[in-house]
A and B are shown apart, each in its own frame.
Chain A
């Protein structure tokens, strides 16, 4: 009898934790398609090696029908940097192209959205208040879920460079470019994106990220040398009119990163945008949903007072609207600068809020109600 009671208690513990993990992994995130979305394809359409896997991502095509450039915006390379994903969400739900073509990805590494950092006490999800209710998103992690790709090697040897990288980065999408068709899930995913870039003739590739304030590559554009003129132009315009934005060159000897490998292995200009996210800082206090969304943390402020940070912070923190607004403005500014530099291949959109508009109305204002549109105009991430 005693054994039965103890066993039953164990089963309750297993069932409750199991249901929690199961639901978290399968939380459905709706996407209300903008009127400008003309097609939704899957990453598996470009490479069979990811078809039907957890990383068979949705690809949102917004085609103006007017000849011009093609831009690919990748959100969710690192899902635990939610401003990158949310900015891409705002594009997919609001953008209408007037010239050229935009392809948007919300879950670059969908596997990584289904797990949080082991031992990190991360919340499994976060919620954004909207004008009509709320939307909940998976928080995710920096690396693919070990349930989808395991084990890690002692040392990750990047292909094709042969460079030695940290073992865990074999599951890091932004260390696995340009990928390989017979590699791990993460490598097959970047290979599929490279196929997409090559086959769709992408002119500009943008990878959206966030960074801890103790990391020197922050509030900046990292640009492949093929995009130095474009990135410099964007950096100057943003810094002059909206917010400070740096510009750095992609290191030639740091392999596996999108800003290096996409530029080296395709005709696309490759850029990576970084926004500040105190949630990622090692000196942060409690790792909560509130901290994630407000970007407020007294311990990170203390680190700033000690001169340990590469970006300013005060008690106002770095709210999610500021971080998302930086990304949307940077994408829009890139379209404008590209068009000015390449008038024969323009790209122009409307409907996407810039920095000041996102801050003024909040991120949620730009997320649309799934119940307000026909079911055919809603997708799930």
Chain B
């Protein structure tokens, strides 16, 4: 159980990192300022989790 939890947690953080990178990538490619604001707002909770702040 504990080992399984650790594996799932590692996968979870890998997913969070992947989504964060994708959001930044889309932010760079976007040409619509409303989309850019949206990407930044969505990115914040992902970063907070990735850096284990919340």
B2: A residues at CB distance < 8 A? 182-184
A18: B residues at CB distance < 8 A? 47-48, 51, 53-54
Q: With A22-B53, A147-B52, A150-B5 as given contacts, are A14 and B33 in contact (CB-CB < 8 Å)? A: no
B47 and A3 form a contact (CB under 8 A)? no
Chain A, Cβ-Cβ closest to B37: A6
B40 and A151 form a contact (CB under 8 A)? no
Chain B, Cβ-Cβ closest to A153: B1
Interface centre among B5, B9, B28, B52 (most CB of A within 10 A): B5
Query: Which B6-53 residues sit within 8 Å CB-CB of chain A?
Result: 8-9, 12, 27-28, 33, 36-37, 40-41, 43-44, 47-48, 51-53
A2: B residues at CB distance < 8 A? 33, 36
Q: With A7-B27, A10-B41 as given contacts, are A151 and B48 in contact (CB-CB < 8 Å)? A: no
A184 and B27 form a contact (CB under 8 A)? no
B40: A residues at CB distance < 8 A? 6-7, 9-10, 13
B1 and A14 form a contact (CB under 8 A)? no
Range, interface on chain B: 20 to 34
B36 and A17 form a contact (CB under 8 A)? no
Query: Which A16-63 residues sit within 8 Å CB-CB of chain B?
Result: 17-18, 21-22, 25
Interface residue tally for chain A (C-beta within 8 Å): 20
B54: A residues at CB distance < 8 A? 17-18, 21, 147
Q: How far does the Cβ of B3 sit from chain A's closest Cβ, in whole Å?
A: 9
B1 and A184 form a contact (CB under 8 A)? yes
Cα A193 to Cα B2 in complex, Å, equals 19
Contact partner of A14 among B5, B8, B37, B44, CB < 8 A? B44
Cα A317 to Cα B34 in complex, Å, equals 48
Q: With A150-B9, A151-B9 as given contacts, are A13 and B27 in contact (CB-CB < 8 Å)? A: no
A3: B residues at CB distance < 8 A? 27-28, 36
Cα A361 to Cα B28 in complex, Å, equals 61
A10: B residues at CB distance < 8 A? 40-41, 43-44
Interface centre among A6, A22, A151, A183 (most CB of B within 10 A): A6
**0 or 1 for each of A72-101: is its CB under 8 Å from B? (1 = yes):** 000000000000000000000000000000
Cα A294 to Cα B10 in complex, Å, equals 43
Chain A, Cβ-Cβ closest to B49: A147
A7: B residues at CB distance < 8 A? 27, 40
Cα A25 to Cα B27 in complex, Å, equals 31
Q: How far does the Cβ of A236 sit from chain B's closest Cβ, in whole Å?
A: 44
Q: How far does the Cβ of B52 sit from chain A's closest Cβ, in whole Å?
A: 5
Q: How far does the Cβ of A54 sit from chain B's closest Cβ, in whole Å?
A: 12
Cα A150 to Cα B2 in complex, Å, equals 10
Q: How far does the Cβ of A181 sit from chain B's closest Cβ, in whole Å?
A: 10
Cα A6 to Cα B27 in complex, Å, equals 10
Jot down 29 A-B pairs with beta carbons below 8 A, ordered by A.
A3-B27, A3-B28, A3-B36, A6-B27, A6-B33, A6-B37, A7-B27, A7-B40, A10-B41, A10-B43, A10-B44, A13-B40, A13-B44, A14-B43, A14-B44, A17-B48, A18-B47, A18-B53, A21-B48, A22-B53, A25-B53, A150-B5, A150-B9, A151-B5, A151-B8, A151-B9, A151-B12, A183-B1, A184-B1
- Please give the residue numbers on chain B whose beta carbons come within 8 Å of chain A beta carbons, in ascending order: 1-2, 5, 8-9, 12, 27-28, 33, 36-37, 40-41, 43-44, 47-48, 51-54
Knowing that A17-B48, A182-B2 are A-B contacts, what are 10 other residue pairs whose CB atoms are under 8 Å apart, sorted by A's residue number? A3-B27, A10-B41, A10-B44, A13-B40, A17-B54, A18-B53, A21-B54, A25-B53, A150-B9, A184-B5
